[in-house]
Amino acid sequence: MEIKNRIARRVAQELHDGDIVNLGAGLPTLVAQYLPDNIDVLFHSENGILGLCDNSFGIQDPDLTNAAGQPCSIIQGGATFDSAFSFALIRGGHLDACILGGLEVDQHGNFANWMIPEKMKPGMGGAMDLVAGTKNVIVAMEHCTKAGKAKIVRQCQFPLTAEKCVSTIVTELAVFRFIDGQLTLVEHAADTDIETIKVCTEAEFVVADELRKIP
């Protein structure tokens, strides 16, 4: 859980004052806990909430859940609406960013997050609409699988959610951005180095001239 919180804390720093941001299921829901005090962000949930927040804040409602069916809260002045309206917001390009978990991202920006062949299929959900209709697609995921296999790969092997859609990848080891179509390492964790990241990353990438440590 500490790894997931570490990733969520760094993802929260990607957000800007006034953003409307969709939080995907799983790890992305933790991001609301780490939002800096000096910015105001509206969190969106695809099942029909604008003003989603961490359970520690807002109006508690036992009948209110996020897109993953987990209990959640809504800020004072937040709104609820049906799925048709929610997806109109997504498809209309009204979200500034979406934060999604991932199974694989490849060096071309292709993204897979909804199905592992021969395993139970939870369904696509809203991911395909989100990556197509959102300006900034942030993938928040652990750098490797539980078996130690790279999740940032040369080419996705799982069924794709979408092609060439990812803007930023945040893991516990590194932050990558797609700059002019090139996967670029821009930050690394203080307790790791470039060689370790190369060992854990199958994809080819370049290192930014001003490589920084993750704050």
DSSP string of 121-184, one letter each residue: ----TTHHHHHHH-SEEEEE--SB-TTS-BSEESS--SPPSBSS---EEE-SSEEEEEETTEEE
How far separated are the first and last CA of the chain, in Å rounded?
Answer: 19
How many whole angstroms separate alpha carbon 124 and alpha carbon 110? 16
DSSP structure class, residue 11: H
Catalytic pick among 2, 14, 46, 163:
46
Q: Which has the closest alpha carbon to 153: 163, 143, 161?
A: 143
Residue 172: active-site member: no
- Radius of gyration of the chain from Cα atoms? 17
Residues 6+ apart with CB under 8 A from 85: 48
- Catalytic residue annotation: 46
